[in-house]
Amino acid sequence: MAFTFFSTFMIMKKKMLLLLLFCFSISFYGQNLPKGFVYLSNIDASIKSEMRYFSHNNFIGKPIDGYKKATIIISKPTAIALKNVQQKLAQFNLSLKIFDGYRPQQAVDHFVRWAKMLNDTLMKKKYYPSVSKNQLFKLGYIASKSGHTRGSTVDLTIIDITTGRELDMGSMYDFFGNKSHVLHKNVTTKQKANRLLLRNLMMSNGFKPYKFEWWHFTLKNEPFSKTYFNFPIK
**Per annotation, catalytic residue among 50, 166, 213, 222:** 213
Q: What is the pLDDT of residues 82-140, one digit of tens each?
A: 999 999 999 999 999 999 999 999 999 999 999 999 999 999 999 999 999 999 999 99
Strands laid side by side in the 213-219 sheet: 48-49, 94-100, 153-160, 213-219, 207-210
Separation CA 111–CA 197 (nearest Å): 30
> Is 222 among the residues known to form the active site?
no
DSSP E strands, 91-138: 94-100
What local confidence, expressed as pLDDT, does residue 20 receive? Answer: 46
Which helix (H) or strand (E) is 200 found in, with range? Answer: helix 189-203
What local confidence, expressed as pLDDT, does residue 28 receive? Answer: 41
Q: Between 1.20.1260.10, 3.30.200.20, 3.40.640.10, 3.30.1380.10, what CATH number should domain 37-219 receive?
A: 3.30.1380.10
What local confidence, expressed as pLDDT, does residue 27 receive? Answer: 39
What local confidence, expressed as pLDDT, does residue 191 receive? Answer: 97
What local confidence, expressed as pLDDT, does residue 226 receive? Answer: 96
Distance of alpha carbon 183 from its chain centroid, rounded?
23
What local confidence, expressed as pLDDT, does residue 150 receive? Answer: 98
Look up the pTM and report it: 0.86
Q: Alpha carbon of 229 to those of 28, 103, 107, 151: distances in Å?
A: 22, 8, 11, 8
> What contacts 99, CB < 8 A, 6 or more positions away?
49, 50, 51, 52, 155, 156, 157, 173, 174, 215
What local confidence, expressed as pLDDT, does residue 30 receive? Answer: 55
Q: What is the DSSP letter of 166?
A: B
According to DSSP, the residues that pair with 209 across neighbouring strands are: 217
For residue 92, give the 3-state DSSP assignment.
Answer: coil
**pLDDT < 70 regions, the chain:** 1-31
